[in-house]
Each structure stands twice: as C-alpha cells, then as structure tokens.
C-alpha cells in the first residue's frame, strides 16, 4: 500500500510539473512579460543584490521573504542578465508549486491511497494554483512554507506534541511563510490553536512555546534588519498601506467563489450562482456524511483543513482587490477539505471488498481530475505573453530608464543602469500606496504632493522613460509634472497596439521616450532647477 501511495504522489507531481512547464512554453511566457507583480518581486531582489536597501531607498509593500528567496536568481542575473534571471525565477516557482503537490501527499498519505490521490490530484490541476505558478508570484512560495509547517506540526491526524524540536521548525516555516506574505498568519493562528488544545490535553506547555517561538524567529529574522533600517517605511508599506487599500470589498463574491472553484474553465454563459450553490451543497453534504457518523471530535488535521478552507475563502470575499492567483492560497485547503472526507467515505464503504471500492473511487476521481487537466491544458494553449522586442536596440545597455512597470525593463535586460543617481524605483503602484498610506490616486492633493515631488525628481534624472498603459493609477500627473515630461522627452518607439490609448488632459501616450537634450537637461537638473 505504501508503494501505491508513493506512485500516486509521483504521478500527480509529474502531472503538475507538466502543466506548469507547458505554460512556460507559450509565446512570451519564459522570457517575456506576463505580469506586473513579477517585475516588482524580482526587481526588489535585483536592487538588494546591487546594494540598494528596500523600504529605505525604494518603496516595497510586501514582507522581505520573497526578495530573500530570489537572491540566488538575482545574483545569476548579475552574470547572465535580468532576462535569464527572471526565467530562472519562473522555473524555481514552478518547482516550488510542484513540491506543494508532494507535501500534500506526505501530509495525508497515512489516510490511504484515495485520500492521497484526491489531495495531490486536486492541487495538481487546480486552476488558480497553475495561474500563480506561471511566473514569480507569492502564492506558490507561501503555500510551500505553510505546507512544510503543517507536515512538521502534524504527526498523522494529531499534533506532534512529544517532539518539540519538530514543532519549533514547523513554527519557523509558518513564520517565514508570513515573511513571504502576511496571509500565512491565518493558517498559523489555526495551527497554533490546535497545538494549544493538544498541549493542554497532554498537560505540556512546551509544544505551544516551541511553535510560537519558532514562528517569531521565522518572521522576525528576515524582517528585523529592515525594521531597524527603516521602521516607519516598513510599517507604512507592509501593514498600513495594505490594510487601507483593501479596507472594503467591491468585487462580486459569487465571481470570486466561481474563480476559486475553477468555473472559468467551463464554457461561458453557464449560471455561476447556481453552480456555486451546487458545489457548496455537495461539499457540505460530503462533510456531513463523512463526519457526523463518527460521533467524536474531529481529528486535528481535519479541523485544520476545514477551518482553513472556510477562513481563507471568507478572507478573499472581503478585500477590495482580488486576482485569480490569490485563489492559489486556498488551493491546499480546498484539496484537503475535499480529500479527507472523501477518503473517510471510501474507507467506510469498503467494509466488504476493499480493493474494488478503492478502485472505483479512484477511477471516479481520476475521471474528474483528468477532465480538469484537459480543460486546463486547453486554456493554457491560448496563452500569449508580451515580448519586449526592440528594447535592446532602442535603449543602450547601462542607460538610466524610469518606468511604471519594471517587468518590461527586467524582461528586456535594461533594469540596471551605469548612471550615477539613477532612480531606484521598482514598484510604481507600491510607491503610491506606501507614500499615501494606501489612499493611492484618490488621496487629497496635500497627501499626493510627496509622490509628485518624487516623480519630478526621478524624471529629472532619467535618460529614458518607458510608460505602459494605466499610468493614471500609478503616477499622480499634475499640469506641472506633465508639462515637464512633455518638454523634456520625446516618443521614439514601443507604442505597441496592445497598449490602449489613454484619455485625459495630462496623460502621456504609452511608449518609450528619450530625453530631448540629455547632456543639457541632466546638467540643469543636477544644478537644482527643473
């Protein structure tokens, strides 16, 4: 039986790897531009290895965990160029998300082959997880460290209360997950409550102390140096701006639930509300059928899975912003919340011929998962990224390029500059959020004034300005700022058709701009006048 579980985990991991690697074979997906966030996340690591301090020298609105994880790829980029460095980061992310399939299998393998097959298979083809793994995004790495923490804290169905060293390392892993993204505090809190209950029953205090201490180290060690160097900037960027920007929701809860359920893979026009209700009712019925006959408290692992699935799903219904890759964080909990009760039902029905029942259940699961995999493959076949063509011809190597989307300069290997005092900005959205404490473009003029002054100073030092669409949400264009840009820069190319035109009195056309008179303009800017 143990051999069959290993084969199941291996087969599911291979399927996950194939689907995720296939994405990277699509045009523009390995070396081109597919996201805004990956340029920021990898750009942060590129700045760090160049000796520029995040939070203090440039705005950053996420904890430093992902930046630290990407330092090897960033060091590679110093040798091979940022284009290859970003490709390496994407491949590492694919490997991390494939490892999540293996970790899910390790976490539930004691519950039998059906449970293992369901948990690993669901995550292998889970659409939001695959979407998050197509490039450097936070969710695959967040899931990786949360699952490592769960594997260490749980011993089968129970908490490993007798092994404090193991619990401490589990806390460290959860803590570092929070250093990747603060969302990890939710599963950490659930695991901590379960540890407290188990420790109380065992009349031991050390298990809870071990997990709490490990979590404090896992989060504190990566964060502390930056808190010391720039305490106010860390608080504004990581905590305050994120809290304010997501203070209230505006998206449809049904649309978000449908996304997490993978309904976007089905043909358009299907009744999403009805399908969401059917899925929710089926999940509730499955859990009731599996757990009510037990007539005893749920095992700690089942409690963690069900509570985590409910808490994370509810968490995504509240914020103002939601993107499909966010749903990847719910993937492991959804996989566990389905697999554990399905495994119980299968075992209960196997009172007679065990092999036949397990085989039938596995066959049904296999049909569902293969169908989902085929739909996912078809969706991926239509993907197209953006190649940063002509940038290397139009922009000299080492030039100072200011952009509102670092993904383009990273993909074009024009992120680094040899020009002294070239602006270090990486994240234009994050800069706006951090400097306005999350109020962004809708803030009052007095709140936006420091952001305007920063862009004015950065424009004065730039040789090239590469603008994509949507700058109205990233750059606080004022008549004076726009006038300076118009008088000192001219469009030379890269105004591609896929960039929608922008309307408004003070919005430049998307494209690549060069300074009109670089020597004279930069000399004047250096003297203190604009």
The verdict on 101 and 145 lying in the same domain is: yes
C-alpha neighbours within 13 Å on the C-beta side of residue 279: 17
Q: Which of 11-15, 462-466, 495-499 has the lowest mean pLDDT?
A: 495-499
Residue 172 domain flag: yes
Answer whether residue 497 shows pLDDT above 60. Answer: no
pLDDT tens digits, 287-307: 999 998 888 889 999 999 999
Q: Residue 315, class by beta-carbon neighbours within 10 Å (0-12 exposed, 13-18 middle, 19+ buried)?
A: middle
- Contact (CB, 8 A) for 327 and 260: yes
The arithmetic mean of pLDDT across residues 39-45, rounded, is 97
492 and 468 inside one domain: yes
Q: Do residues 152 and 281 both lie within one domain?
A: yes
Residues 145 and 178 in one domain: yes
Per the domain annotation, does 48 fall within a domain?
Answer: no
Question: What predicted TM-score, i.e. pTM, was given to this entire model?
Answer: 0.92
If phi over 0 gives left and psi between -120 and 50 gives alpha, with beta otherwise, what is residue 419?
Answer: beta
- Looking at 360, 381, 402, the residue that finishes a domain is 381
Q: Are residues 181 and 320 in the same domain?
A: yes
Coil vs helix vs strand at 298: coil
Would residue 489 count as lying in a domain? yes
Q: What does the alpha-carbon distance between residue 277 and residue 225 come to, in Å, rounded to a whole number? A: 47
Report yes or no on 243 lying in a domain: yes
Are the C-beta atoms of residues 465 and 511 closer than 8 Å to each other?
A: no
Give phi and psi for 401, each to the nearest 5.
-115, 125
Please indicate, yes or no, whether residues 143 and 256 belong to a single structural domain of this protein. Answer: yes
Evaluate whether residue 36 is within a structural domain: no
Q: What is the mean pLDDT of the chain?
A: 88
Q: How confident is the model at residue 70 (pLDDT cuts 50, 70, 90)?
A: very high
Are 273 and 138 found together in one domain?
yes
* Assigned domain for 17 exists: yes
The domain tally of the chain equals 2
* Domain of 225, in residue numbers: 2-30+61-381
User: 331, 355, 381 — which closes off a domain?
Assistant: 381
Same domain, 372 and 342: yes
> 22: how many CB neighbours lie within 10 A of its CB?
17
Q: Judge if 374 and 453 occupy the same domain.
A: no
Which of 381, 414, 432 is the C-terminal boundary of a domain? 381
pLDDT digits (tens, 9 = 90+) for 464-478: 999 988 788 899 999
What is the average per-residue pLDDT within 355-383? 70
Do residues 364 and 413 share a domain? no
Pair (105, 231) in one structural domain = yes
Q: Quickly state the pLDDT bin for 529 (edges 50, 70, 90).
A: very low
- Is 55 domain-assigned? no
Burial state string for 412-438 with b = 16 or more CB within 10 A and e = fewer than 16: bbbbbbeeeebbbbbbbbbbbbbbbbb
6 within some domain? yes
Q: How confident is the model at residue 357 (pLDDT cuts 50, 70, 90)?
A: low
Contact indicator for 515, 521 with CB cutoff of 8 Å? yes
User: Do 350 and 398 fall into the same domain?
Assistant: no
């Amino acid at each position: 039986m143990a051999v069959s579980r290993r084969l199941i985990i291996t087969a599911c991991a291979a399927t996950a790897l194939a689907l995720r690697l296939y994405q990277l074979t699509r045009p523009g997906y390995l070396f081109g531009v597919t996201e805004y966030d990956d340029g920021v996340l990898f750009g942060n690591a590129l700045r760090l290895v160049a000796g520029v301090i995040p939070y203090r020298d440039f705005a950053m609105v996420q904890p430093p965990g992902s930046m630290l994880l990407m330092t090897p790829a960033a060091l590679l980029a110093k040798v091979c160029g940022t284009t290859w460095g970003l490709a390496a980061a994407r491949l590492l992310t694919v490997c991390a998300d494939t490892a999540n399939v293996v970790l899910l299998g390790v976490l539930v393998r004691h519950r039998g082959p059906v449970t293992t097959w369901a948990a690993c298979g669901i995550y292998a083809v889970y659409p939001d997880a695959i979407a998050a793994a197509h490039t450097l995004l936070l969710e695959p790495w967040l899931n990786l460290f949360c699952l490592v923490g769960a594997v260490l804290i749980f011993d089968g169905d129970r908490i490993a209360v007798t092994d404090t060293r193991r619990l401490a390392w589990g806390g460290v892993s959860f803590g570092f997950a929070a250093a990747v993204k603060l969302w990890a505090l939710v599963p950490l809190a659930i695991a901590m409550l379960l540890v407290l209950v188990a420790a109380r029953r065992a009349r031991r205090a050390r298990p809870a102390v071990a997990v709490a201490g490990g979590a404090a180290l896992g989060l504190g060690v990566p964060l502390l140096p930056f808190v010391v160097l720039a305490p106010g900037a860390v608080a504004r960027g990581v905590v305050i701006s994120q809290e304010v920007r997501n203070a209230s929701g505006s998206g449809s809860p049904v649309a978000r639930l449908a996304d997490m359920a993978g309904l976007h893979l089905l043909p358009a026009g299907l009744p999403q509300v009805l399908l969401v209700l059917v899925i929710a009712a089926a999940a509730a019925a499955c859990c009731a059928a599996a757990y009510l006959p037990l007539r005893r408290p749920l095992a700690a692992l089942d409690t963690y899975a069900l509570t985590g699935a409910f808490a994370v799903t509810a968490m995504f219904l509240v914020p103002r912003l939601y993107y499909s890759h966010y749903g990847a964080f719910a993937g492991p909990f959804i996989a566990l919340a389905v697999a554990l009760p399905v495994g119980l039902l299968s075992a209960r029905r196997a009172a007679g011929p065990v092999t036949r029942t397990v085989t039938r259940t596995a066959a049904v699961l296999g049909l569902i998962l293969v169908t989902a995999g085929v739909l996912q493959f078809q969706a991926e076949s239509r993907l197209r990224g953006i190649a940063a063509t002509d940038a290397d011809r139009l922009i000299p190597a080492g030039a100072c390029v200011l952009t509102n989307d670092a993904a383009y300069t990273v993909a074009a290997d024009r992120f680094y500059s040899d020009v002294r005092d070239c602006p270090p900005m990486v994240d234009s959205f994050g800069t706006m959020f951090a400097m306005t404490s999350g109020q962004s473009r809708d803030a009052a003029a007095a709140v936006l004034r420091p952001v305007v002054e920063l862009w004015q100073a950065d424009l004065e030092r730039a040789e090239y300005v590469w603008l994509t669409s949507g700058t109205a949400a990233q750059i606080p264009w004022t008549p004076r700022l726009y006038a300076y840009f118009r008088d000192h820069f001219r469009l030379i190319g890269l105004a591609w058709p896929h960039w929608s035109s922008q309307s408004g009195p003070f919005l430049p056309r998307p494209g690549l701009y060069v300074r009109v008179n670089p020597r004279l303009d930069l000399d004047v800017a250096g003297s203190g006048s604009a």
